[in-house]
Amino acid sequence: MENSSKEDGLWFWISERKHFFVCVLASFLALVSFWGIGFVIIFIYADFCKYRDIKHCLSVTFLVAFGLISLPLYSCFTLENDTWSLALKCYLISLILFHIGEFYVQSYFHYKEANFSTFLLDHSKDYTIAITASFSEHLSKLILPYPSFIWICIFGIIITSIGHIFRIGSEINCGQNFSHRIKYSKKASHVLVTNGFYKLCRHPSYFGWFLWSVGTQIMLGNIICTIGFYWASVHFFRNRLSYEEPLLVEFFRNDYVKYIKNTSQFFPGWRNFLEEEV
C-alpha cells in the first residue's frame, strides 16, 4: 500500500506539472534547433548570399526564425501559463528574436561578411556564462522558495521589447555604417548618422542591448541575474566606449565633437550615465 501511494503521489506530481515538462521539452528542442539550424544556414547559405540573391537567403532565415519562435509561442496558447513558465517562454522567444535579428539585419547590409559570428551566439565566454546563469537561476525556482509576480514579468516584457526596438531599429537606421566590430579605420562610405534613433543618444544600439539584457532578467524574475546583468552591461559598455568614442572623434572631427555636445552618450536624456570626457 505504501509503495502504491508513493507511486500515485509521484504520478500525481508529474501529471500536475505536465505543462512544465512539455514546455521544458519544447524549450530544449527550440534551443537545439536554433543552434543546429543556425549552423546549417551559415555554412550552406552564407556563401550562397555572396553570389546569389540576398533576398532568398534572408527569406530562408525568416522562415527558420518563424519556425523556432513557433515552438514556445505555440505553448503559450495551448498550455497552462503560470508566471514561471510564461516568463521562460517569453525569454526563449526574446533570445531567438535577438540573435536571428542580429543575423538578419547585418546580413542584409553586410551579406558578404556574414558568418556564424553574425548571430552573436559566440559573442564571448562571459555572455555564454551569463545566459547559462539566467537559465540556472530561473530553474532553481522550482526547488527554492522564490517570489513570483505577474506584473514584474509584464514590466520585464515591456523593457525587453523597448530594448529590441532600439537595438534593431538603430542598426537599420545606421545601415551600412553599423558593424558588430569596432572599425579602426574610416571607409570612404562611412558617414556620421545623427538622425532617427541617433538623435536620442549617440549609441542607441548599445542602449537597446542594455535594456534587452536587463529586461529579460526582470521578465524572468531573476533577482541575482538582474543585478549581475546590469553591472556587467555597464562595465562592458563603459570599457567599449572609452576607446570607441575617441576613434569616432578621429573619424569625424568637429562634426562628432558637436554631436557630443548636443546628444547624450548612452541613455537618452541622461548625460551623466556612462558619460566620460572624450
Which whole number is the average pLDDT over 29-57? Answer: 51
Task: Name the percent of the chain in helix, strand, coil, to the closest 5.
Answer: 75, 0, 25
Phi, psi values for residue 149, rounded to 5°: -130, 130
Q: Match domain 147-278 to its CATH number in 3.40.50.150, 1.10.10.10, 1.20.120.1630, 3.90.1150.10.
A: 1.20.120.1630
179 or 165, which is more confident? 165
139 or 24, which is more confident? 139
Query: Who's near 81: CB < 8 A, 6+ residues apart?
Result: 89
Query: What is the maximum span of the chain, computed from C-alpha positions, in angstroms?
Result: 85
**Mean pLDDT, rounded, of the chain:** 76
Query: Who's near 31: CB < 8 A, 6+ residues apart?
Result: 92
pLDDT in the model for residue 76: 56
pLDDT in the model for residue 120: 80
The answer to which of 161-170, 182-191, 263-272 has the lowest mean pLDDT is 263-272
Residue spans of the domains in the chain: they are 1-122, 147-278
How far apart (Å, rounded) are the C-alpha atoms in residues 129 and 275?
A: 28
pLDDT in the model for residue 215: 96
Which whole number is the average pLDDT over 24-53? Answer: 52
Of all residues in the chain, the percent with pLDDT exceeding 90 is 23
Global pTM reads 0.74
pLDDT in the model for residue 272: 55
How far apart (Å, rounded) are the C-alpha atoms in residues 181 and 203?
A: 14
pLDDT of residue 232 exceeding 80, the answer is yes
Taking only the tens place, the pLDDT of each residue in 72-105 is 555 555 555 578 888 888 888 888 888 888 887 8
pLDDT in the model for residue 276: 57
pLDDT of residue 68 exceeding 80, the answer is no
